[in-house]
Amino acid sequence: DVKVTQSSRYLVKRTGEKVFLECVQDMDHENMFWYRQDPGLGLRLIYFSYDVKMKEKGDIPEGYSVSREKKERFSLILESASTNQTSMYLCASSLSTGRYEQYFGPGTRLTVT
């Protein structure tokens, strides 16, 4: 079974703090994705990566950065957390060939106060 894990299930941070969200997958997937999900807005893609050290912006990259130093790990960084970044953050991974089905981690519910 595909397994995607995220470092924290719940996280509370203060405005202005630097926040790191970690995602690890164990299925040797090339593609990894970071989304945020808010009521009424659905899933929105923040960043994705097709390979180690490679990244591409999604639809809402402002205020975020990412790092992928190893194939299995994809990190999302909030350089200076703001209250409008309070959300559910979801990581997903998929193969680079075939049908592209994505598998999600359990999510991190981040609250910025």
Partner 1 sequence: QKEVEQNSGPLSVPEGAIASLNCTYSDRGSQSFFWYRQYSGKSPELIMSIYSNGDKEDGRFTAQLNKASQYVSLLIRDSQPSDSATYLCAVNIRRGSTLGRLYFGRGTQLTVWP
Residues forming the site for partner 1 (CB under 8 A): 31, 33, 40-43, 45, 48, 50, 56, 90, 94, 96, 99-107
Q: Which is nearer to partner 1, 56 or 79 (CB)?
A: 56
For residue 110, what are its two tokens?
A: 């981040």
Q: Which is nearer to partner 1, 14 or 72 (CB)?
A: 72
Least distance CB 25 / partner 1 (angstroms): 13
Q: Which is nearer to partner 1, 67 or 102 (CB)?
A: 102
Least distance CB 40 / partner 1 (angstroms): 8
